[in-house]
Structure 1
Amino acid sequence: METDTDDRVAAAVAALSDRATERAGDEFTRAAWLSLADPRPPEELSPFDADERGWVGAGLRWLVVSAVAYRVAGRDARATRRGAEGIAVARDLLTTLDAPAQRGCLAEFVADFRTVAAMDGVDDAYADAADAYRDADGVDDPRRVATSPLFEAAAAPIKQVARGPANGEIAVEWADLHGSDPADAGAFLARRATYKRQRFPSLVDRVVDDGRLAAPRGTTAYGDDNHRCPACGSTDVNWIADHVLCLRCSAPMERD
């Protein structure tokens, strides 16, 4: 079922494909607000109820991405406001998403917001998130936790930001974000925060310097004979949010 949030995400992706990055920031912001208000429409889930899957994380994801878009567009003050909003929401969600690992993920989001909004205290925030993960008790299956909507939402922004400098390819893998031993749940999840501390700030700086934010990666095909990018000539395709984009530069593809 397509929702109003999906429509706003599609509008944001269209804006990125047109290099209208400020408009993309606006649309990602609207998607965030809609998702925060109504995180799981078919189930009428309230954002103020405990939720072991953390569907409300999608709203935080789009706020993070909106701040990056504003930074790329040169709207630093608006990016800072999105960062402040996101930190406030993540901290407020601690009252409902109270499983120990979820609290670590919300701390991870706080650090992400500091990163994308160019705030002080990034290193300390990621250190706090790593500590929260290490202190998390009762995590029997960290791989299941790491694939829940909340955790996937926290992983998505760095993956999207990393695509641009990587020519559209997947530049942040599962193994990058997680430890090698799921039997040690704390270390397995804490790797997310330590990796982001090492990589996310420089990736954001890179896309800001380049003046371009890639669209999220969806379904892809290489060497598609039916499509060609008018901007760079690539025939590698990214289908995302009802748009057919160039895998390499996120421009709209043309039928060949």
Structure 2
Amino acid sequence: MPAPKDVLAELADILAAVQGCEPETVQLETKLTELGVDSITMVEIGEELGRRFNIYLSDDAIDGFTTVKSAVNAVVHHDGSVARSSAPPVPAKLAPPTRPVPAAEPAPVRSYEPAREGHHVDGEKARVAGRFATWMVIIGAGLGVLLGLGSAAVIGATGLGAANLPPLSVTTTEAPTTTAPTTPAPEETEGEPTQEPTIRVSSTRVSPGERFRLEGAFPELGAGATLQVQVKDPGSDWDDFPVDTKTKGGGTYATEIYTSRTGKREFRLFHEESSKSSPSIAVEIG
């Protein structure tokens, strides 16, 4: 295993390249967050440190980077972790190819010639039906003429005519029109902006090692306030997560974190000077 002083020298070189730190500021008891290292940069530093010493630093090991000494110890006392392969398993037996089912042959079309017997009988029936219909029309027309003449004679004998019939009087009443009462629309009032801290998460379910985003606002703090990310596991108290962030205009904040510990974990942002914290939000890891 490498000597602690060699690891410290390499870590100081990495921090100088990534964060622009002076080598004399990289001391064993120095917190990495004091050097401006956030969760994303922490991963890059851990990966580069592992490459320089030809070892693999697991997500749990990088999660434990809080001070310079903890990062040095992760290399000196390496736990023997190796990177897992993500290649998909090869099936033991390939499925046999399926043979195409032949299409069913269409049934042969047969043509039938109509029987010629009975043609003469059908024609005779049609002629008889036609003559019967003609006679019915003639008889109906004659009855209509007779009935019309008889009705005219009756009207003439009684003295009733079209001129003597009294006119029909039709009274029309207009339906009353009603107008529905109009209800004035309620006036919109603008609510006062809330001053309580808020928090949002980009995803409530992530894979181990997958980054997710925490964002929100501490309106009363304004810009430049330091917020500490805290985590709580089932059955335990709130604990500082190795990431903090600073507020911007209006007290807004945003940071990205990741963790390889599986299970349902709660996160929040805490402001130490005012003892105020944001609401907690649960994220399922795994």
TM-score surpassing 0.5? no
Select the structure of larger CA radius of gyration.
2
Query: Which is richer in strand?
Result: 2
Query: Which is richer in helix?
Result: 1
So what's the TM-score if we normalise by structure 1?
Answer: 0.23
So what's the TM-score if we normalise by structure 2?
Answer: 0.21
